[in-house]
Every structure is written in structure tokens, then in C-alpha cells.
A and B are shown apart, each in its own frame.
Chain A
């Protein structure tokens, strides 16, 4: 059994190695693109596919609105795509012979990196660069190093959490499958489904929580009533 911490390139594109996770990600992108094409013919009386798509949008909007208390439109595409991609990537392990992209370190790290950058982007967009930087000095300037360290570690924790849960699930299933390949891994695979959904939800919710925190910290504090 190969170490889950090791990933071998599927093929080389010149000097660039193309890993399996990248290819699976492309497949997921194609699949999601096809689903999006299926829902491109939108009507006032929705089909089943359109109704499911609208249910997904409404659910994502509701979660964003509950966390931010603001209109969900600026965050909908980012948070919704993160959730859908991670969910599909986690569940791709059910396809025999496919390792989920999130079970390798590069994909969760890329997602965490995108979230880290999006926190900066939305923080500056919400309160300006000065406001965003002043957010690190709260509640007082002494906290600046700790706040900066926190912004790195919380993003790193998202990466580690997602990678660790998915990788461990795949690793356990692989171990059990090597010992008793027939039927025994099925409960673990079902548990892996639940774990994958929960991890996708946690990653998306934490992302919007951190983004909201950055936006709120960037805004000027309300004046105290005399």
C-alpha cells in the first residue's frame, strides 16, 4: 500500500507533472459544467433539475444570510462553488479506482490558499485597505502579531482538517478493503459519505465566517452614545 502522503504524477506535460488529483478535478469541472448546461434553460415553471438547482441556491443563500446578516449575492458563487466542489470531490472516492482530490495535500492547500486570499479581498472590499489592516489592531495594537498569526493558522487548520479527514477515510477504507474486500468496507464508505458532506459544509461555513469577520473588523466601530 502506498503512503497517502505520497502522490505520483499520472503523466508529465514537459517538465510539469500532472497528478491524478488534477485530472479528477478536471473531470469534476466537466461534470459540473454539464450540470450547469442542463440548467441553462430556465423557465418560470421549473423542471426537476431546475427545481433541485434552485433548492441548492436557496439553501446556500440562506446559510450565507444567517452567517453574514447581509445580502448573499457577493459571496454566493464563491461559497457555493467551494461547497459543491469539495462535496463532489469527497464523494468521488465512491467511484472505484478514483482517489478524491481532497485526499492529497495540494488540493486542500489550494482551497485554503484561495480562502486566505478571498478573506483579504473581501476584507479590503468591505472596509478598504486601511480598515482591513486596522482590523488586525483590535482590540488593541498589541494583538497585531497574534491576529496575523491567527489569520494564517485558521486557514492552515482548514487545510489540515479537510485533508486529514478525507485522507484518513480513504486510508481506512483501503486498509479494510485489503483485509476483507467484499461488503465489509461498505459501512465505512457510507460513513465516508457523511464525513465528506460534513467536511464540505464545515469548510464552506468557516470560509464565510472568516470572510464576514474580516469584513466586520474592517468597518469603523460604531460611535458610543453619550
Chain B
């Protein structure tokens, strides 16, 4: 058994030198690199966490923006809907007014047409009545008819007021006959008028076939109508008044 102190010293120094060498060139640099990598990884994790937080914030902002867009879209749609409804109401109102105008116009046109038609019918009826009256007159006895009209003339003069009769007596009276009055007829007419007025007025005779039958007296202030034309006119006026009353009702 041997134990060499020189070798003990050599080995102790060798191990110490080896410890120093490895500490200088191995343990410390490698540990520092590990720490650096851990710090780098931590930085990357922190950066990733920050990026994640930033992304979350941006996502929340986008969500809020989307909600705002939705609200704005809803408001625009509501405004457009209200505007469309207002325009529709305005159009309906205009259309109703136009329809009312058209209805009024059509009603007025219909009334005018009915009035025109009625006037036409009345005129045609008058014409027809004149025609019928003319044909009837042609078949009647002329002398009897003249006598009847002379009688009705006397009754008409009798119904006049005294002031009218005086006015007729002092004026020049135009006697309008439906047919040409011969001397005998003029004499009977003059006699009838003089009998009714009490004096013989100044008479002039004229012929108007439109009277159909009968005779009329025309003075400056008094007119006495005694003919079928006058009768037809009165009938037509009465019918017109009746129609007016029914339209007003």
C-alpha cells in the first residue's frame, strides 16, 4: 500500500483547475444561455399575451362598430320606411283629391248632359207638341177655333186690372194672329176688344204662324198672350219648375 502526497497534491490542483476551467467556459455560459432563452421565451409569451389582448380589444371594437352599423342601418330603414309611408299617404291624398275632382267633373258633366238631354227632350217635346197641335188645328173647324180664342181673349181682357185696360185702351195695339185674318175676322176681333175695353182702340194686325192657333195683343206696356204657343210655353215652364224642384229635393 502506497500513498503519494505529490499525486494527492497534483490531483487536488488538477480538479480545482478543472472546476475553474469548466466554470469559465462551460457552466456559466451554458446557464446564461438557458436564462437568456427563458427570458426570450417569456418575452415572446408576454408579447403574445399583449397581442392577444390587443386582438381581443380590436375584436370588441369591431363588435361595437358592427352594433353601431346595425343601429344606423335600422335607423336608416326606419327613416326610409317613414318617408315612404309619408310619400304613400301624400300620393293617396293626391289620388283621392284627383279622383274626387274627376268624380265632381264627371258628375257635373253628367248633370250637364242630363240637363242638355232634358232641354233637348223638352225642345223635341215642344216641337212634337207644336206639330201635333198644328195637325190637330188642320183637322179642326177654323171658325169654331177662332171663336173660342176670341172668347178666351175677352175673358183675358176682363181679368186685367183697370189700369192695364186703360193703358191698352189708350195705346196702339198690335194684334198678332196665327193665320192671316181677313176683314171679317179683323172686324170680329175689333168688336171683341172694343167690347172688353169699352172703347175702340187703334189696332194693327200681324201674322205669326208660330202661334199655331189663337191671337195675342201686344201693347207698349201690356202683352196678352192667347195662343197655343203661349199655352205650350206655360206648360214647358211649369215642367221646368217641377224638374228644378225635384233636383233641389
Contact = CB atoms under 8 A, between A and B. Distances in A.
Nearest to B31: A57
Given A32-B18, A40-B25, A44-B40, A19 B4 contact: yes
Contact of A25 (B11, B19, B23, B33): B11
Interface in B28-50: 28-31, 33-34, 36-37, 40
Interface residues of A, number: 50
Nearest to B3: A105
Given A32-B18, A33-B25, A39 B3 contact: no
B144 to A, nearest CB: 151
A61 B31 contact: yes
A90 interface: no
Given A5-B2, A36-B21, A106 B33 contact: no
Nearest to A56: B30
Nearest to A22: B10
A58 interface: yes
Contact of B11 (A16, A57, A81, A101): A101
A81 B30 contact: no
A98 B31 CA distance: 33
A29 interface: yes
A215 to B, nearest CB: 19
B31 A7 contact: no
A201 interface: no
B15 interface: yes
Contacts of A58: 34
A37 B23 contact: no
Contacts of A18: 10
Nearest to A77: B23
Nearest to A7: B2
Nearest to A40: B25
Contacts of B8: 106, 109-110, 113
A50 B33 CA distance: 10
Given A36-B22, A85-B18, A7 B27 contact: no
Given A17-B7, A109-B8, A53 B30 contact: yes
Contacts of B23: 77, 81
A83 to B, nearest CB: 11
A98 B1 CA distance: 20
Contacts of B14: 22, 25-26, 29, 110
Contacts of A17: 4, 6-7
A61 B31 CA distance: 9
19 contacts: A9-B4, A19-B7, A19-B10, A21-B11, A25-B11, A29-B18, A36-B21, A44-B37, A54-B33, A57-B31, A58-B34, A104-B7, A105-B3, A106-B4, A106-B8, A106-B11, A110-B8, A111-B15, A114-B15
Given A76-B27, A106-B7, 13 more contacts: A17-B7, A19-B10, A25-B11, A36-B22, A42-B33, A44-B36, A53-B30, A54-B34, A81-B15, A81-B19, A81-B27, A111-B11, A114-B15
Interface of A: 3, 5-7, 9, 16-19, 21-22, 25-26, 28-29, 32-33, 35-37, 39-40, 42, 44, 46, 50, 53-54, 57-58, 61, 73, 76-78, 80-82, 84-85, 101, 104-107, 109-111, 113-114
